[in-house]
Amino acid sequence: MRVKYKTACPLNCWDSCGFEVTVENNMVVKIEGDQDHPITKGKICGRGRMLEHRANSNERVKYPLKKVNGTFQRISWEQALNEISNKLAAIKKTYGTTAVLHSHDYSNSGLLTNLDKRFFNCYGGVTELTGSICWGAGIEAQTWDFGDSYSHSPDDVFNSKNIVIWGRNVARTNMHLYANLTKAKKQGANIIVIDPMSNATAKLSNEYVSIKPGMDGLLAIGIMKEIVRLNLQDQQFIDDHTLGYSDLLNILEEITLDELEELTDVSKDIMTKLAHIYANEPTMTYLGLGMQRYTNGGNTIRLIDALVAISGNIGIPGGGVNFANKQVGESFDINALSLPNRRHHKRTFTMMQQAEGILLANDPPIKMVFVTCGNPVTQVPNTNRVKQAFSKVDTIVVVEQFMTDTAQMADYVLPTTTVFEEEDVYYSSMYHHYVNYGSKLVEPPGEVKSELMIWTELAKRLSFADDFAFDREQFINIGLGDLVTKGITLERLRKYDHLPLPIDHVPWSDKKFMTASGKYEFTSSQATQKGFDGRLRIDYPLESKQKNPDLLGKYPYTLLSIHPLRSNHSQHYHLIDSMQEIKVEVSKDVAEKERLQEDDLVKVFNERGELEGRVRILKEAHRNTINIDEGQWSKFGGSVNLLTPNRISDNGMGSTLFDCVVAIEKI
Ligand SMILES: Nc1nc2c(c(=O)[nH]1)N[C@H]1C(S)=C(S)[C@@H](COP(=O)(O)OP(=O)(O)OC[C@H]3O[C@@H](n4cnc5c(=O)[nH]c(N)nc54)[C@H](O)[C@@H]3O)O[C@H]1N2
Ligand SMILES: Nc1nc2c(c(=O)[nH]1)N[C@H]1C(S)=C(S)[C@@H](COP(=O)(O)OP(=O)(O)OC[C@H]3O[C@@H](n4cnc5c(=O)[nH]c(N)nc54)[C@H](O)[C@@H]3O)O[C@H]1N2
Ligand code: SF4
Ligand SMILES: [Mo]
């Protein structure tokens, strides 16, 4: 019998869609969009649909595996859990708990994925990762400016006269925003796209601005210079609600429009035009992750924030500078789930430099790496460095669904459930404010266990069983915290499938900011407190002509590595035949200079590594630009992160994935 159930997409994505899933004979047979979901309205993407194939794939890891003499052998759960808990106990005794590194990312947006942190805190506190490869630079930047990183509700875009899409590949990564843009345009909104690569969103726009990668902060300076010259700034907002405006004015005077035109490849006329657009409020800005993935990335986001602020677009309907929507995640009681107060010891590595951390740590050294919800060998920058570090560690435990490149390096692989095999609630702090319910629809295959079961069993063996003496329902209620007093209970989620969280739809409308001064801070006191210069500045990517001319002599092209259309990071490549080769996308001028033609086999390289792939010529990409989509597996040619640097962004919290130059050679 075929039965349809409502559930949710667990993928790390802006959209956090509602699903309607058809189940037949304990098997998911079809995934469609939930027509009743107020934001995602029955539309889902191919990545969501493919979760059926992920769940049913014969390649699923179905039994615990142990590497013996270089090959994986099936073992029992009893053996796996006993051996891993014995190792954890021995490490604690000999080296202390921080000799364990918990390496993770956010591949599953379920609330109970936070229980990994509870496990490691109750164990005593391990070496944890800080910052984020994904969006760390931008979050930190907005925290310095506003006190946190909040977005306007999706529907507020219909209150905007102008909508600026800045470094976000909307048509590919954020499909429901794309649908809203299409509608807003029909209703008369003016859409501007700023991106070094022309894409489907650029095609939709009224104005596409092609920019030199990493130079967006300078474009913001140019627009601000014009706003000030034309006296278009919102002086009332600046006087009443901001701190450090005179520091900003000093920066604007340090550079001329001619210099800015030269550095950004954006004409002065466009800067003037954008000044008028920003002053003709409400203008809404959607930031993507593109321009914060550079060494100067935090400063870039802060300069764009400053532009939005001086033009009077903060805290008004139809305005704002949307990056993350952290109000969503902050609604839940994550501390009640993760129990940070149970931690006795703590050490941190940044997520970007986990490999350096492992290689350099000696007090104590890293004896075990425990990986959850991540595929660091593919996704973390400088793959060769990550492999070198992981090879040095005695024991690697990976909780996974598939034999990824990271799982291949493990000593133990523990097979875990997919979204359809466990109950949870799902949310994303990226875009909208609904929490979605996901029920358990099918039994997991083979001996697959949920992460909750894995933690509970390990906790028993390490004598903190009491901390896991709760079932799924109780844990979900713990994580819902205060929300239950506002009508967001598990019971009601089971009944209504999705509920809106009580958050601000137009953040900062009271003009009370969460900074130390309570004002919008052009010069950040939090930055100063952390030992940074809190002022804005003129800055460039590290791998640029301005900062490193010698390097550019050897490696003349900027390498981007944007998110693939049909895969969420590395999660779908092994299931889609046409994705199993590397496509090297080059701008037209690169093809001309290097005499490359469509389908030529090329080598792309720099001092960190090399990759081979087939050429695709991009008709409309910024000059000197190459792109290789992220997420590729070793067996299909290798991850683009073989080439990317693992440096940290200027504000300490983000990656510099796109601050990367390469050379290219026909083979
Ligand atoms: N299909 C698909 N969708 C996804 C994901 C996926 O893997 N696949 N992943 C999800 C996740 S985790 C995230 S974080 C989001 C990311 O969502 P996006 O930020 O939309 O995705 P990116 O691929 O990082 O795209 C960055 C965009 O920035 C542009 N860019 C690069 N450098 C610069 C620059 O210097 N200046 C400017 N102005 N633009 C620049 C690129 O050309 C690209 O258009 O997507 C989510 N959605
Ligand atoms: N060069 C380059 N690198 C990038 C990026 C880029 O733009 N360019 N983007 C960065 C960004 S934005 C992000 S968010 C990261 C994403 O990096 P990751 O989160 O590491 O990447 P994914 O491939 O989404 O997922 C990792 C693994 O999690 C597993 N998984 C799924 N669900 C579960 C679960 O419930 N439990 C457990 N234990 N495992 C599960 C999947 O099988 C998958 O193998 O990559 C970053 N890396
Ligand atoms: S991957 Fe994103 S857009 Fe696609 S179904 Fe999932 S949440 Fe929706
Ligand atoms: Mo991300």
Nearest-CA residue for ligand 3 atom 5 is 48
Q: Which residue has the tokens 């100063």?
A: 528
Q: Confirm or reject: Cβ of 47 under 6 Å from ligand 3.
A: yes
Instruction: For residue 150, give the DSSP letter.
Output: -
Which ranges of 497-556 does DSSP label H, i.e. alpha helix? 525-529, 549-554
CATH topology of domain 549-666: Barwin-like endoglucanases (2.40.40)
- The whole-angstrom separation of Cα 382 and Cα 424 is 34
Of the candidates 295, 447, 378, the one whose C-alpha atom is nearest the C-alpha of residue 103 is 378
**Which ligand has the minimum distance to the alpha carbon of residue 568?**
1
How deeply is 266 buried, as exposed, middle or buried, from its count of CB atoms within 10 A (0-12, 13-18, 19+)? Answer: buried
**8 A C-beta contact, residue 156 and residue 317:** yes
- The whole-angstrom separation of Cα 99 and Cα 97 is 5
**Ligand 3 pocket mutation, candidates 12, 14, 45, criterion most atoms within 8 A of CB:** 45
Q: Confirm or reject: Cβ of 627 under 6 Å from ligand 1.
A: no
- Rounded to the nearest angstrom, the distance between the alpha carbon of 2 and the centre of ligand 1 is 38
**Ligand 3 pocket mutation, candidates 14, 17, 54, 107, criterion most atoms within 8 A of CB:** 17
Q: Confirm or reject: Cβ of 585 under 6 Å from ligand 3.
A: no
What is the secondary structure of 607-649 as a DSSP string?
Answer: SS-EEEEEEEEETTB-TTEEE--S---GGGT--GGGTS--PBP
Q: Confirm or reject: Cβ of 13 under 6 Å from ligand 3.
A: yes
Residues with Cβ within 8 Å of 125's Cβ and at least 6 positions away in sequence, in order, are: 97, 98, 342, 343, 344, 345, 346
Structure tokens at 225: 């210079």
- State in Å, rounded, how far the first CA of the chain is from the last one: 55
Q: What is the pLDDT at residue 438? A: 98
Which ranges of 319-399 does DSSP label H, i.e. alpha helix? 327-330, 334-338, 354-360, 376-379, 383-392
Residues with Cβ within 8 Å of 317's Cβ and at least 6 positions away in sequence, in order, are: 152, 156, 159, 282, 506
**Which ligand has the minimum distance to the alpha carbon of residue 48?**
3
**8 A C-beta contact, residue 425 and residue 439:** no
CATH topology of domain 65-133+341-426+435-468: Rossmann fold (3.40.50)
Nearest-CA residue for ligand 1 atom 47 is 173
Q: Confirm or reject: Cβ of 564 under 6 Å from ligand 1.
A: yes
Q: Which residue has the tokens 């490490």?
A: 91
Amino acid at 520: Y
Spell out, as residue ranges, where the chain has pLDDT lower than 50.
none
Residues with CB under 5 A from ligand 4 (ion): 134
**Ligand 3 pocket mutation, candidates 15, 106, 170, 180, criterion most atoms within 8 A of CB:** 15
What is the secondary structure of 180-211 as a DSSP string?
Answer: HHHHHHHTT-EEEEE-SB--HHHHHSSEEE--
Question: Which atom of ligand 2 approaches the CA of 54 most closely?
Answer: 42
- Rounded to the nearest angstrom, the distance between the alpha carbon of 167 and the centre of ligand 1 is 7
Q: What is the pLDDT at residue 124? A: 98
Question: Which atom of ligand 1 approaches the CA of 565 most closely?
Answer: 1
- Rounded to the nearest angstrom, the distance between the alpha carbon of 657 and the centre of ligand 4 is 12
**8 A C-beta contact, residue 191 and residue 163:** yes
**Ligand 2 pocket mutation, candidates 11, 54, 105, 429, criterion most atoms within 8 A of CB:** 105
Q: What is the pLDDT at residue 649? A: 98
Q: Confirm or reject: Cβ of 16 under 6 Å from ligand 3.
A: yes
Instruction: For residue 391, give the DSSP letter.
Output: H
Measured between alpha carbons, how far is residue 306 from residues 156, 216, 233, 427, 601 in Å? 21, 13, 11, 29, 44
- The whole-angstrom separation of Cα 400 and Cα 72 is 14
**8 A C-beta contact, residue 656 and residue 649:** yes
Question: Which atom of ligand 1 approaches the CA of 134 most closely?
Answer: 14
**Which ligand has the minimum distance to the alpha carbon of residue 52?**
3
How deeply is 439 buried, as exposed, middle or buried, from its count of CB atoms within 10 A (0-12, 13-18, 19+)? Answer: middle
CA triple 36-33-631, angle to 5 deg:
140
Q: Please state the separation of Cα 379 from the chain's center in Å.
A: 11
**Ligand 2 pocket mutation, candidates 104, 133, 350, 568, criterion most atoms within 8 A of CB:** 133
Query: What's this model's pTM, rounded to 2 decimal places?
Result: 0.98
CATH topology of domain 152-322+507-529: Dimethylsulfoxide Reductase; domain 2 (3.40.228)
**Taking the domains of the chain in order of start, what are their residue ranges?**
65-133+341-426+435-468, 152-322+507-529, 549-666
- Rounded to the nearest angstrom, the distance between the alpha carbon of 173 and the centre of ligand 1 is 7
- The whole-angstrom separation of Cα 320 and Cα 314 is 5
Q: What is the pLDDT at residue 506? A: 98
Cα Rg, the chain, nearest whole Å: 25
- The whole-angstrom separation of Cα 613 and Cα 596 is 12
Question: Which atom of ligand 1 approaches the CA of 627 most closely?
Answer: 42
**8 A C-beta contact, residue 574 and residue 633:** yes
**Per the omega criterion (within 30 degrees of 0), is the bond before 541 cis?**
no
